[in-house]
C-alpha cells in the first residue's frame, strides 16, 4: 500500500490528575481508543483515495488521565477505496500508527514537565 501522509494534527489534548473522590461518585474512567476513517476523495483517474483518520482517546493511568483527539490526512495512491471496511485490520493499524505515536509522545513530554521527572511512556497502545 502506497501512502502519502500529511503531518499529524493535534485537535485537542487534555491532561488531568485523577480525582478519586469524584470517581467514587461518578465512576472510574476507562481507557479507550477509537479510530475513525473518513473518506474525503476518490479519484478514479489517478486511482487514489484521500482519507482523514481521527483518533479519539482516553488513557487512564494510576495518577492521571489523558484524553483528546489527533488526526491525519492520508492519500492512498495505489487504488480507490470505496469504504473503510475494504481495508484490512492490519492496514488500518498501519495507517493509524502515527496517531498512537503522537499520543505517546505528547504524554511523555507533558508528564515530564508536570511531574518534573522523566516522562511516562504509555507503551504500545495500538
27, three cell numbers: 465512576
- 3 state SS for the chain: CCEEECCCEEEEEEEEECCHHHHHHHCCCCCEEEEEEEEEEEECCCCEEEEEEEEEEEEECCCEEEEEEEEEEEEECCCCCCCHHHCCHHHHHHHHHHHHHHHHHHHHHHHHHHHCCCCCCCCCCC
Q: Considering the chain, what is the average pLDDT of its residues?
A: 95
Domains parsed from the chain with CATH numbers: 3-115 (3.10.420.10)
Is a pLDDT exceeding 70 seen at residue 126? Answer: no
Question: pTM (2 decimals)?
Answer: 0.92
N-term to C-term CA, the chain:
19
Distance between CA 28 and CA 96 in Å, rounded?
Answer: 27
Is a pLDDT exceeding 80 seen at residue 125? Answer: no
Give the confidence band of 123 by pLDDT, cuts at 50, 70, 90: confident
Distance between CA 17 and CA 90 in Å, rounded?
Answer: 34
Question: pLDDT tens digits for 17-68?
Answer: 999 999 999 999 999 999 999 999 999 999 999 999 999 999 999 999 999 9
Amino acid at each position: 500500500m502506497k501512502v502519502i501522509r500529511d503531518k499529524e494534527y493535534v485537535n485537542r489534548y487534555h491532561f488531568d490528575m485523577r480525582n478519586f473522590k469524584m470517581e467514587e461518585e461518578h465512576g472510574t474512567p476507562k481507557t479507550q481508543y477509537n479510530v475513525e476513517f473518513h473518506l474525503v476523495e476518490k479519484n478514479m483517474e489517478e486511482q487514489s483515495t484521500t482519507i482523514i483518520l481521527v483518533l479519539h482517546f482516553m488513557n487512564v493511568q494510576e495518577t492521571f488521565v489523558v484524553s483528546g483527539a489527533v488526526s491525519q490526512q492520508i492519500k492512498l495512491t495505489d487504488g480507490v477505496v470505496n469504504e473503510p471496511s475494504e481495508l484490512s485490520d492490519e492496514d488500518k493499524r498501519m495507517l493509524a500508527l502515527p496517531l498512537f505515536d503522537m499520543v505517546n509522545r505528547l504524554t511523555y513530554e507533558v508528564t515530564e514537565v508536570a511531574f518534573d521527572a522523566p516522562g511516562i511512556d504509555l507503551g504500545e497502545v495500538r
